[in-house]
Amino acid sequence: MVTIIGSGIAGMCTAIALHQAGIPAEIYEQRKTTGDDAGGQAHLGLSRTVAIPALTALGLKDEILAGGFLVRQVEIRDHTNQVLNTFQAAPEGNVGITRAELYRILHTALEDRGITIHYRRALHHITPQDTGVRLEFRDGTRIHTALVVGADGLRSTVRAHISDSTPGVQGPEYGRWWYAHGITDHIDTPTPPDTFVVIRNQNTQHAFGYLTLSNIGTRWWLRIAAPARHTMIRPDNPADRAELENLAPNDTAATIIRNATIDMSSYNADCIPPDQPWTDQKHLALVGDAIHACIPSSSQNVPLAAEDALTLARALRDCDTQTIALDRYERMRRNRAHRALIAGNPANGIDAGPEYPIDWNTPITDHLATTTEQQYRMPTETASVP
Ligand SMILES: Cc1cc2nc3c(=O)[nH]c(=O)nc-3n(C[C@H](O)[C@H](O)[C@H](O)COP(=O)(O)OP(=O)(O)OC[C@H]3O[C@@H](n4cnc5c(N)ncnc54)[C@H](O)[C@@H]3O)c2cc1C
């Protein structure tokens, strides 16, 4: 039995992938339900070439397409609303989905597969033992397990325990951007249908992205380049709203913010550089934001979490020992995640590399691990982690 800590997107994807590999798993979650955090209505972009294939390999394609909405193109405008560039999505279009809907789909998939989530179980301590580790939760519960998957997000307790044996493991770094997002009903925006618009102010680097859907309204985010962390905005506070309007890159963005109706909130974008140990090579492994958090508007985090899940499950399925599986998993994922992190920061200018191989039936061998490792090497040595 594999023990997964955290029932976010990464934890739920890992449980589904392990089930697919015939490996039983259970999830332990500190909250009282799944997904009761901020940003439930935030729009997650799922690209047809990267995110959808990974979610398809998890057997979730139909549910994702039914629960999401189509995004046929991305239009980049300057602050005068002049269109600078238009990217056509793949022929069938990309998919947008709310965090709440993605959580609901993953949660239903767990129920259908009979996978248990133990709620109100906050992992506190990990003690190495001969045949695995002993986990101690804050409510006093203890369990013994052979493998712990830390899907416990930015401030991962499992990552902290890997650092006990590995000096230099780092916590989250402020990514030098903060975000506000919200929904605005009933507003006319100059937008072609099924188009995600990004308005950029070249002088300030602030950007505003929005998508208008006839049944839901306009979903938007405001991305602010800022050297220091920002305090959270309070949606009902007129001064906070006025501050956001002032930061908007143009009048279109300011009008949408002024009329925001529901679910307005903000957060600082924290990053986790993935150049640190992903496993202890014995009983602990990390997936998702716990080992690689990218800037949220980069749309890299969900596909990376699903790819982690699939790769770890395949490695455990195919390798002779757990130690070898954890080694292959890390070697196949580290460069890919590092490159996605750099590519996801709007201040850099590199692509995320080729699509990630997620052929579920191809066994993971040493050759595949080495090939994948090489494919995602950074093009230059000079690019830095944001
Ligand atoms: C508002 C918002 C908008 C976003 N927009 C995008 C986007 O557009 N595109 C994109 O790719 N990504 C986006 N992201 C990020 C994306 O949602 C995450 O990267 C993704 O959900 C993967 O997260 P995770 O499961 O690794 O971690 P999390 O979602 O942080 O889940 C970690 C889970 O572990 C639990 N946990 C933590 N510590 C313990 C403990 N000690 N014991 C037990 N349980 C514990 C937590 O309660 C939580 O449920 C956004 C995030 C937010 C908040």
**pLDDT of residue 173 exceeding 90:** no
- Cα distances (Å, whole numbers) of residue 233 to 29, 140, 145, 173, 241: 27, 36, 42, 21, 8
Closest CA to 133 of 101, 155, 158, 112: 158
**pLDDT of residue 191 exceeding 60:** yes
How far is the centre of ligand 1, averaged over its atoms, from the C-alpha of 80 (Å)?
35
Q: Which domains does the chain have, with CATH numbers?
A: 2-70+96-172+272-375 (3.50.50.60), 175-269 (3.30.70)
Q: How does residue 256 score in pLDDT terms, banded at 50, 70 and 90?
A: very high
pLDDT of residue 328: 97
Tell me the per-residue pLDDT of 107-147, one tens digit each, with 9 for 90 and over: 999 999 999 999 999 999 999 998 999 999 999 999 999 99
> What CA–CA distance (Å, rounded) separates 169 from 163?
5
- Cα distances (Å, whole numbers) of residue 266 to 183, 194, 263: 13, 25, 10
Measured from the CA of 293, which atom of ligand 1 is nearest? 19
pLDDT of residue 353: 84
Tell me the per-residue pLDDT of 318-364, one tens digit each, with 9 for 90 and over: 999 999 999 999 999 999 999 998 888 777 778 888 889 889 999 99
Q: Which three-class secondary structure state does DSSP give residue 353?
A: coil
Pocket test for ligand 1, best of 74, 94, 302, 345 (most atoms within 8 A of CB): 302
CA 277 to chain centre: 19
Q: Averaged over 146-153, what is the pLDDT?
A: 97
The neighbour count for residue 232, using CB atoms within 10 Å, is: 14
Give the residue carrying structure tokens 């925006």: 189
For residue 92, give every residue at least 6 positions away whose Cβ sits within 8 Å of its Cβ, in sequence order, or none. 48
> What residues does ligand 1 touch, defined as CB less than 6 Å away?
5-11, 28-31, 38-39, 42, 44-45, 99, 122-123, 151-153, 157, 267, 288-290, 296-297, 299-302, 305
